[in-house]
Amino acid sequence: MAYPAHVDRPRTIIEPFRIHAVEPIRITTREERAAALKEVGWNLFSIHADDVLIDLLTDSGTGAMSRDQWAAIQHGDESYAGSPSWYAFLESVQVLWPFPHVIPTHQGRAAEKILFSVIGGPGKVIPNNTHFDTTRANVEFSGAEAVDLVIAEGHDPAALHPFKGNVDLAALEALLEERAADIPVVFVTITNNSGGGQPVSLENLRAVRAVCDRFEKPLFLDACRFAENAWFIKSREPGQADRSIPDIVREIASLADGMTMSAKKDGLANIGGWLAMRDDRLAEQCRNLLILTEGFPTYGGLAGRDLEAIAQGLREVVDEDYLRYRIRSTAYLGEALDAAGVPLVKPFGGHAVYLDARTLLPHVPALEYPGQALAVALYLEGGIRGCEIGTVMFGRHPDGSETPAAMDLVRLAIPRRTYTQSHIDYVIEVVTAVAARAADLRGYRIVDEPPALRHFTARFEPLS
Ligand code: F0G
């Protein structure tokens, strides 16, 4: 949509929607928050969400659906097999991702679990720019090894690179030279969530494709935030400015052999996902597992109404007014914190701003979890819930050893179409206040942890 002439080049990028239904936010006191933290062993995943003022834990499944998605839900057809809602979903997916096999799952990790159960296993190696935590856990649970091969800039929070999610092509080639026989698939995550929500360029994807061709390996995408990645391509990559978002997405699809997807992100839905691919035989094996754990192939792990919500969400997420607002509103938070001197991953990601806790808290060693210390402080100060992405999440290895993660970050993920600019102004105020007294923050120790994905349930104790 073009803006009217008098606002042809507006300085303020407004939310391209009005609010239609509201959810209350319960205001808590610092004392209430301190008590809540103690109760849950300082693990923010265990806090009652009613005790959170601004919930930036994740952008996954937490967005607001549109009027048209709620309307589409009324069309949900709950037939066990061949539901019209399945066909609506399939058509919407294939307009953007024309893979012949689309396998609906209840969320992204279910797609990962099925795929890696078939192609993973002991002795196998799966390269990715950076595996997300559930992806890594599913690869490792199958017995395979997950290897991260993002470009060097992707490890440097301050390095300015327009496509910091790019794959290190030389490293990928070297790994393939050495272990081609053990590599069933090459993965690329768009955008690279664990690396700071950073995009991957079309040029890099084309080059990864060429490497895969040389070694005759399939290329799969973890495409959770594909529309945000496509917007970055359109706005940052030379020669892409005049293309439509669906056109860019279809080119990305043409470079890949398959994908895993969480519709809780760029599906603009509260639940859902899929696994898609070209290979008939692989699809058959995956569908056999789908039936065991998710459901019949025309609904997977989803109700018909969920399929409808996703079908409509996929039409909305590629809208340029939406994407312009989405990427701009994330940058608004980043720019304000940057101006206040808070160390951040730059450039700002599409779905989140990542605070560089290791730099902000140089006095807290990585194995005392600076990201955890900062995330807890933000909650205590202002009821803001962010997410540690660092040594708590990635530090423990399958052999039981513990090492510092590449970075210690706190992610402030922005739910889609959910918070207004004044909410974000409040976040800026709280983060700035906590950063000003960062020297007073202390680290944590873990008193109890499960064998895998420990960040979800570990209990902590503050160090004095
Ligand atoms: N891949 C990426 C890149 C993700 O960000 C996620 C989820 C998944 C796979 C798994 O999808 O949650 O539907 O099973 N990320 C969420 C987050 C949880 O907070 O970043 P899922």
HSE-up of residue 393 (Cα within 13 Å, Cβ side): 24
Taking the centre of ligand 1 as the mean of its atom positions, its distance from the CA of residue 306, in whole angstroms, is 18
Determine if ligand 1 sits within 6 Å of the CB of residue 198. no
Q: How far apart are the C-alpha atoms of 99 and 256, rounded to whole Å?
A: 9
% of the chain beyond a pLDDT of 90: 92
Determine if ligand 1 sits within 6 Å of the CB of residue 386. no
What pLDDT does 49 receive? 97
pLDDT in tens, 346-356: 999 999 999 99
Determine if ligand 1 sits within 6 Å of the CB of residue 222. yes
Closest to 185 (Cα-Cα) out of 232, 237, 245, 138? 138
Q: Is pLDDT of 405 > 60?
A: yes
% of the chain beyond a pLDDT of 70: 98
Taking the centre of ligand 1 as the mean of its atom positions, its distance from the CA of residue 2, in whole angstroms, is 33
Q: What pTM was computed for the model?
A: 0.94
pLDDT band for 263, please (50, 70, 90 cuts): very high
Report in angstroms the alpha-carbon separations of 139 from 115, 235, 305, 341, 406.
9, 33, 31, 38, 19
Mutate to test the pocket of ligand 1, among 56, 60, 141 (most ligand atoms within 8 A of CB): 60
pLDDT in tens, 308-357: 999 999 999 999 999 999 999 999 999 999 999 999 999 999 999 999 99
pLDDT in tens, 112-123: 999 999 999 999
Q: Are strands 352-356 and 409-413 parallel, antiparallel or unpaired?
A: antiparallel
Determine if ligand 1 sits within 6 Å of the CB of residue 135. yes
What pLDDT does 157 receive? 83
- The answer to whether 253 and 93 have CB atoms below 8 angstroms apart is no
Q: Is pLDDT of 443 > 50?
A: yes
Taking the centre of ligand 1 as the mean of its atom positions, its distance from the CA of residue 136, in whole angstroms, is 11
What pLDDT does 8 receive? 56
* Span between the terminal Cα atoms of the chain, in Å: 56
Q: Is pLDDT of 409 > 80?
A: yes
Amino acid identity of 135? Answer: T
Determine if ligand 1 sits within 6 Å of the CB of residue 257. no
Taking the centre of ligand 1 as the mean of its atom positions, its distance from the CA of residue 60, in whole angstroms, is 7
Taking the centre of ligand 1 as the mean of its atom positions, its distance from the CA of residue 194, in whole angstroms, is 10
pLDDT in tens, 189-202: 999 998 789 999 99
Mutate to test the pocket of ligand 1, among 59, 126, 134 (most ligand atoms within 8 A of CB): 134
Taking the centre of ligand 1 as the mean of its atom positions, its distance from the CA of residue 10, in whole angstroms, is 34
Determine if ligand 1 sits within 6 Å of the CB of residue 109. yes
pLDDT band for 1, please (50, 70, 90 cuts): very low
Ligand 1, atom 4, residue with closest C-alpha: 132
For the chain, what is the mean pLDDT?
95
Q: Is pLDDT of 150 > 90?
A: yes
Determine if ligand 1 sits within 6 Å of the CB of residue 262. yes
